A and B are shown apart, each in its own frame.
Chain A
Amino acid sequence: MSQKTLTPARPPGASRTAMSRRGFLAGLGAVGLGATVAACSSGGPSASGTSAGGTVDLTFWNGFTGGDGPVMQDLVDRFNAEHPAIAVRMTTMEWADFHAKLPAALTSGRGPHLAIQHLDSLPTSAARGLLLPLDDVAEDLTLTSDDFIGPVWDAGLYDGQRYGIPLDVHPLGFFFNTRVLADAGLDPDAPPMDRESYEAALDLLLDRGVAGHWMSPHTFTGGQTLQSLIWQFGGDLFDAEGATTAWARDEGVEALSWMVDAVHAGWSVRDVGQDADIIALQNGQAAFNWNGIWSVNTLDQISGLEWDVRRLPRIGSVDAAWAGSHNFVLTKQRGTTDAQLEAARTFVSWVSQQSAAWAVGGQVPARLSARDSAEFAALGPQSAIAEQADDLRFLPSVPGIGDAIGELYTALNEAVLLTKDPRDALRDAAARADQVLADNRDRYDA
């Protein structure tokens, strides 16, 4: 087969240094040496699992690149100190890299033993055979559904088996710049919490030349804002089985229209860039931003910024807020020893009991008992957001659901950037997503 049409030509003459006989021999030697080194290292550390000192080595991958990373590292260090027989090594990477690398690493036997998965990618990974069932861990830990938010607990189930132990939930919260509110004559201690007062506040801010709530056309955090609003207006993203989309119905259109109308009304500027919504809040150019609880640490680090956070205001007819969740998973990988599995269970069990410590990283603990603790109550912003724990909504536990929700973000982008009517945008996105859902059903049910 000819390679000509398949691979772009290399620049001719890019490397034209004549190679001497000696250089050639040296090169051959280097290749040989490299092969030897590779051969020696291929029996790598994960093959045996136990190092000379008798400790069990575990690798743990996650995507905690923000303010949450050091908190998790701290927990890992404390665990290692308390458990001399186990050595956990944590590797942090961007979530996007994490999701791309994990399958390949696991198939090649070089993946982690423990990992964190988002709730919406958990069923996909389980269906693709990346994970080990954890029912026994849940039993050992005497974890029960009573101690967890219902949807979070249920989301760890796939095909009748448990694959994830919830670590936290991270909901959307209502962040506001208290100085901007005070300057506009609004009470920063009593921010608007319903549609009427919210819109009145935005009008008041507009009179003072402030576009109060910048509507992001991007997934972060416009996507989460739109999902929250659809639920608030009484709609849903998918039907009960997660088989077809439901966002193009009237409630969805109403929700997206509210965001678009905010742009038309001047409550939001046009053409909001990626992250510009939260930057505007920091700069005092906006008053409100619906953002993830993970922003707590980011805002805390900005000196001179006066801000506060509450549960989401109710714009629609019911209280609802988008939330995600981090879950511990054990990976399925050849070469993992029983000792490592046992150690991994010990680790999951131990960290799960440190929920309140983890909340410092800007998360809401998944366990009710941790949320009710005095330690958590002391974390003002986190516990303010956690007030809406009963109203949190999650994506359904369906493999490949992330592929379908991506189409909603396209509709959001088109509508908020005023290039497409909200109803048309949602309808077209729903048609594409329905086809994606049908394809995924064929793939994962087969």
Chain B
Amino acid sequence: MTAAYASGPTRRPLRRGAPWTPWAFLAPFLAVFGTFVALPAVRGLWMSLHDWDHLMPDKPFVGLANYTALLDPTSVLFQRFWDGMTATGTFVLASVPFLVTLPLLLATALNRAFPGRTFLRAVVFLPYVLGVAVVGVLFRFVLDPNLGVLNHLLGVTGLDRVLHLLGAGDPVPWLTAQPWAWVSLVGVTVWWTLGFNTIIYLAGLQDVPRELYDAAAVDGASGRQRFRHVTLPGIRPVLAFVVTMTVLASANMFGQADLLTGGGPGTSTRTALMVILDTGLGRYEMGAAAAMGYVLSIGLGVVSVVNFVALRERDGRGRRRARRTS
């Protein structure tokens, strides 16, 4: 293969490296990606076709049986897996709206100039640096129905009566009855990860050209109209990113439920990941667990594609925002 690309007799051929140059640059990444992502993924697919326990001498090939078991309502795995998927789906639907909108409002507020802004930005981001174990143990004591700080404070202020009117038991069963367990898990997750999305939004907001706001103000746009017609279109790529990442992060929820509710009450907050872990490393049914992992991944892949399609830039609306890809 020749690198020469003659467009005119006087032009020097474009200088190009050897054909393997791009591969040399990619090699370090490919080595890591191959070892820790591609190979395990292929091996997982292989495992999912077997009754796999890496310690048992025979690992019988079962074809697609691990997958069909997930679709067969009479199997033990069916109930466990789809209960887990339902729990994961519930958490995604309940948490993503808050995790997408609240940080946007916060970021809009923190994007204004006011004294103490940097400090507040740090405060908002702070919980995100905590590990899930810290958050879990901390909130187990905050939210304990009988001994927790939250119910004590609600009792002192009399606010618990409002919750009783909403049908909550006495004491408010933050971790031991539905829907309160979901309310707690979503609330804790929002408190914990709010800062990350806020920072991403802040970066996006700072990229919206000042002149557009000035022009909109000159045209007599109200604050709400400026937000709707300047800010939102301006941060559309950021929004797509935040929505996609938040959906994936919420679908991967594990630690909060594991530590706060232990999957309870009953099995209502046992998420798909908890089911997969228990199946693979608790019951040593690694083939079945691998199959579950694939079904979950494919589901998340579809959701991510839908997200991107729904939030992609539409032709003929606004300028192309090449800066996000630079």
Asked whether any CB of chain B lies closer than 8 Å to the CB of A413, the reply is: yes
Residues of A within 8 A of B (CB): 1, 3-9, 11-13, 24, 27-28, 31, 100, 103, 107, 128-130, 214, 217-219, 269-274, 276, 279-280, 283, 285, 400, 402-403, 410, 413-414, 417, 419-420, 432, 435-436, 439, 443, 446
CA of A419 to CA of B25, assembled, Å: 59
Q: Given A9-B244, A420-B266 in contact, is the A103-B146 Cβ separation under 8 Å?
A: no
Does B284 belong to the interface (CB within 8 Å)?
yes
Residues of the B chain whose Cβ atoms lie less than 8 Å from the Cβ of A402: 282
Q: Give CA–CA (A199, B25) in the complex, Å.
A: 76
Residues of chain B in range 39-90 having any CB-CB distance to chain A below 8 Å: 41-42, 45, 51, 53-58, 75-76, 79
Q: Which of B245-289 contact A (CB under 8 A)?
A: 245, 248, 252, 262, 264-267, 281-284
Q: B42 to A271, Cβ gap below 8 A? A: no
* CB of B255, distance to nearest CB on chain A (Å): 13
Given A103-B284, A217-B176, 7 extra CB contacts under 8 A = A3-B38, A3-B41, A7-B41, A11-B245, A129-B57, A269-B146, A272-B146
- The CB with the most chain B CB atoms within 10 A, among A130, A285, A446, is that of A446
Number of residues of chain B lying within 8 A (CB) of chain A: 52
Give the distance in Å from the alpha carbon of A417 to the alpha carbon of B262 in the complex: 14
B residues near A1, Cβ cutoff 8 Å: 41-42, 45
Residues on the B chain within 8 Å of A8, using CB: 248, 252, 300, 304
A27 CA to B31 CA, complexed, in Å: 13
| Chain B residues with CB below 8 A from A274, complex form | 140, 262
B94 within 8 A of A: no
Q: In the bound complex, how far is the Cα of B45 from the Cα of A148, in angstroms?
A: 48
Question: At the interface with chain A, which of B109-117, B167-175, B210-218?
Answer: B167-175
Q: Tell me the smallest distance from the CB of A105 to a CB of chain B, in Å.
A: 12
Asked if A217 and B282 sit within 8 Å, CB to CB, the answer is: no
CA of A414 to CA of B83, assembled, Å: 15
Chain B residues within an 8 Å CB radius of A24:
25
Closest 3 pairs between A and B when the two form their complex, measured CB to CB:
A5-B301, A271-B176, A271-B173
Whether A3 lies near B176 (C-beta < 8 A) is: no
A273-B176, A417-B266, A446-B58 known; A7 vs B297 contact (CB < 8 Å): yes
Docked CA distance A276–B54 (Å): 39
Residue of chain B at shortest CB distance from A270? B169
* Nearest chain B CB to A302 CB, angstrom units: 15
Contact call B145/A271, Cβ cutoff below 8 A = yes
Contact between chains at A410 and B146 (CB < 8 Å): no
Chain B residues with CB under 8 Å of A403's CB are: 282-283
Say whether B56 contacts A128, CB under 8 Å: yes
A223 to B38, CA, bound (A): 42
Contact at B147–A280, with CB atoms within 8 Å? yes
Q: Is the beta-carbon distance between A283 and B147 smaller than 8 angstroms?
A: yes
Name 6 interchain pairs, CB-CB below 8 A, sorted by A: A6-B297, A8-B300, A31-B28, A128-B53, A410-B266, A443-B53
**Do the beta carbons of A414 and B266 come within 8 Å of each other?**
yes
Report whether A3 and B37 are in contact in the complex, using a CB–CB cutoff of 8 Å.
yes
The 8 Å CB contact of B169, one of A6, A28, A271, is A271
B25, B148, B265, B267 — most chain A CB neighbours (10 Å): B265
- Taking a contact as CB atoms under 8 Å apart, the answer to whether A419 and B266 are in contact is yes
- Taken residue by residue from 127 to 171, chain B's Cβ proximity to chain A (1 for < 8 Å, 0 otherwise) reads as 000000000000010011111100000000000000000000101
* Min CB gap B144→A, angstroms: 4
CA distance A1 to B44 in the complex (A): 13
- Name the contact of A9 in the complex, choosing from B140, B171, B283, B304 (C-beta under 8 A): B304
Q: Report yes or no: B28 in contact with A27, Cβ–Cβ below 8 A.
A: yes
Q: Complex Cα distance A103/B280, Å? A: 13
Which of chain A's residues has its CB closest to B178's CB? A419
B191 within 8 A of A: no
Q: How far is the CB of B155 from chain A (nearest CB, A)?
A: 14
Chain B residue contacts of A269, Cβ below 8 A: 145-146, 171
Check B283–A130 contact: CB distance below 8 A. Answer: no
The answer to whether A436 touches B145, judged by C-beta atoms less than 8 angstroms apart, is no
Contacts of B177 in A (CB 8 A): 271, 417, 419
The chain B residue sitting closest to A415, CB to CB, is: B266
Query: Which one of B75, B147, B265, B298 contacts A217 once the chains associate, using CB atoms below 8 Å?
Result: B265
- Is B144 within 8 A of A276, CB to CB? yes
Q: Is the CB of B28 within 8 A of A28?
A: yes
**Which residues of chain B are near A439, meaning CB under 8 Å?**
76
Instruction: Check if A103 sits within 8 Å of B42, measured CB to CB.
Output: no
B267 & A410 in contact (Cβ 8 Å cutoff): yes
Residues of A within 8 A of B144 (CB): 273, 276
- Contacts A7-B37, A8-B304, A9-B244 given: A218-B57 contact, CB under 8 Å? no
The complex places the Cα of A270 from the Cα of B171 at a distance, in Å, of: 8
Contacts of B76 in A (CB 8 A): 432, 435-436, 439
Q: Looking at the assembled complex, report how far the CB atom of A152 sits from the nearest CB atom of chain B, in whole angstroms.
A: 24
Q: Are A273 and B146 in contact (CB under 8 A)?
A: yes
Chain A CB within 10 Å, residue with most, of B45, B264, B281, B324: B264
Query: In the complex, what distance in Å separates the CA atom of A214 from the CA atom of B176?
Result: 14
Q: Which of A27, A280, A283, A419 has the most CB of B within 10 A?
A: A419
Whether A273 and B53, one on each chain, are in contact in the complex, defined by CB atoms closer than 8 angstroms, is no
B176 touches A272 (CB 8 A): yes
Choose one: A217, A219, A276, A413; the contact of B146 (CB below 8 Å). Answer: A276
B125 at the interface (CB under 8 A from A): no
Q: Which residue on chain B has the smallest CB distance to residue A446?
A: B58
> Roughly how many angstroms separate A219 CA and B301 CA in the complex, as a whole number?
36
Query: Is there contact, CB below 8 Å, between A417 and B37?
Result: no
A435 to B283, CA, bound (A): 13
Evaluate whether A107 and B57 lie within 8 angstroms (CB atoms) in the complex, with A5-B298, A280-B146 already known: no
Residue on A nearest B45 in the bound complex, by CB: A1
Chain B proximity of A351: nearest CB distance (Å):
27
| B98 CB–A CB distance under 8 Å | no
User: What is the bound-complex CA distance between A271 and B264, given in angstroms?
Assistant: 11
Q: B146 to A271, Cβ gap below 8 A?
A: yes
Measured between alpha carbons, how far is A279 from B141 in the docked complex, in Å? Answer: 11
Are A417 and B265 in contact, with the CB atoms below 8 A?
A: yes
Q: With A and B bound together, what is the CA distance between A27 and B25 in angstroms? A: 11
Contact, CB under 8 Å: A413 / B266: yes
* Docked CA distance A446–B298 (Å): 33
CA distance A269 to B171 in the complex (A): 9
Residues of B within 8 A of A12 (CB): 241, 324
Would you call A413 and B265 a contact (CB within 8 A)? yes
Min CB distance B295 to A, Å, is 11
Which residues of B are found within 8 Å of A11, using beta-carbon distances? 241, 245
Smallest distance from the beta carbon of B166 to chain A beta carbons, Å? 16
Q: For chain B, residues 292 to 313, give those with C-beta under 8 angstroms from any C-beta of chain A.
A: 294, 297-298, 300-302, 304
Would you call A443 and B56 a contact (CB within 8 A)?
yes
